[in-house]
């Protein structure tokens, strides 16, 4: 008896996340390429600034607007700064910034959804009307206004995007959690005397998050676009900080003479947004059994 008990205690605890991860490693084809690209982009965001071959801030007017080649692989911008170096370094703010925004509004969204689910009909009604109001206003316009009001900076833009982003997550998650609440094991746990709060955190939220994982990837792609747009419009990252949207903004005046200075960060944004968008789609296919079954039926799975 004692022996068996110690055996249990000593054994490693297997986390449920390991199974989906293992499944992802076995992925082939387009999904695999997308997955590898997404991982590379995240790595780039982490180490990008250290890969830059040239100083990213030092301007050199005598080397301004040099075309690609000529010692600078992707040319230089209007101040003579190496475009390749700046795009590599900019990955940090663009990608990690977007991820932070997504994590931020996801947490708020999940908490709002959880409260709406267990808080009774009045709480639910109030929270969902606030959510609806958030959904009704175009998020791009609202974050533009908010960020401008807070004083243009990358931080303001990120705060504005968290504030405008959570209603989408809250709406989606509330529906999913409602569904999860009706699953027999949730009721079963209630019958065994589990309190509502523990019910939420132990049983309902973990069993609703698979939907969110899918949404995260797509959200990151979308957020990179919006963050870039905000910076481009001047309410996001300010010069001299290196952010892709801000780079396009400062290079656009010289686009007729040095198109590469605007084109390169533009391509970086496009590639990143498309990669995370596709990642979201392939995760959707792999983690959401309903869609997966549909894909298998129509012969779309590989």
Contact 54, 80 (CB under 8 A): no
Pairwise CA distance, residues 247 & 261, whole Å: 8
Closer by beta carbon to other proteins, 145 or else 287 = 287
Contact 288, 214 (CB under 8 A): yes
Closer by beta carbon to other proteins, 5 or else 122 = 5
Closer by beta carbon to other proteins, 85 or else 180 = 180
Number of residues that this document lists for the chain: 302
Minimum CB separation of residue 194 from other proteins in Å reads: 5
Minimum CB separation of residue 193 from other proteins in Å reads: 4
Contact 204, 98 (CB under 8 A): no
Closer by beta carbon to other proteins, 105 or else 216 = 216
Q: Nearest Cα to 255, choosing from 243, 265, 268, 270?
A: 265
Minimum CB separation of residue 203 from other proteins in Å reads: 5
Contact 201, 174 (CB under 8 A): no
Closer by beta carbon to other proteins, 157 or else 181 = 181
Minimum CB separation of residue 187 from other proteins in Å reads: 7
Q: Residue numbers of the site for other proteins (CB under 8 A)?
A: 1, 4-5, 7-9, 11, 13-14, 16, 183-195, 198, 202-203, 206-207
Which residues have a Cβ under 8 Å from the Cβ of 103 and sit 6 or more positions away? Answer: none
Tokens of 80: 């003579």
Minimum CB separation of residue 199 from other proteins in Å reads: 10
Residue recorded with tokens 């523990």: 198
């Amino acid at each position: 008896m004692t022996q068996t008990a110690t055996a249990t205690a000593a054994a490693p605890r297997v986390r449920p996340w390991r199974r989906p991860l293992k499944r992802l490693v076995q992925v082939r084809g387009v999904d695999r390429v997308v997955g590898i690209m997404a991982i590379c982009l995240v790595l780039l965001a982490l180490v990008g600034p250290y890969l830059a071959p040239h100083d990213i801030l030092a301007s050199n007017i005598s080397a301004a607007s040099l075309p690609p080649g000529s010692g600078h692989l992707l040319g230089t911008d209007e101040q003579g700064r190496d475009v390749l170096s700046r795009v590599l370094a900019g990955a940090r703010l663009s990608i990690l910034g977007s991820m932070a925004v997504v994590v931020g509004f996801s947490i708020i969204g999940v908490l709002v959804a959880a409260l709406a689910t267990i808080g009774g009909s009045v709480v639910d009604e109030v929270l969902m009307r606030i959510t609806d109001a958030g959904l009704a206003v175009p998020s791009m316009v609202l974050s533009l206004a908010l960020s401008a009001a807070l004083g243009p900076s990358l931080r303001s833009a990120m705060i504005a995007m968290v504030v405008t982003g959570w209603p989408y997550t809250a709406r989606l998650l509330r529906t999913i959690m409602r569904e999860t609440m009706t699953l027999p094991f949730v009721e079963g746990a209630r019958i065994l005397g589990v309190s509502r709060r523990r019910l939420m955190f132990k049983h309902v939220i973990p069993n609703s998050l698979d939907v969110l994982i899918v949404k995260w990837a797509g959200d990151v792609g979308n957020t990179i676009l919006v963050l870039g747009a905000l910076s481009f419009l001047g309410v996001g990252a300010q010069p001299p900080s290196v952010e892709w949207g801000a780079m396009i903004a400062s290079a656009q005046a010289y686009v007729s003479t040095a198109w590469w200075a605007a084109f390169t960060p533009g391509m970086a944004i496009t590639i990143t947004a498309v990669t995370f968008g596709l990642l979201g789609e392939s995760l959707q296919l792999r983690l959401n059994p309903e869609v997966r079954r549909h894909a298998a039926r129509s012969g779309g799975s590989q």
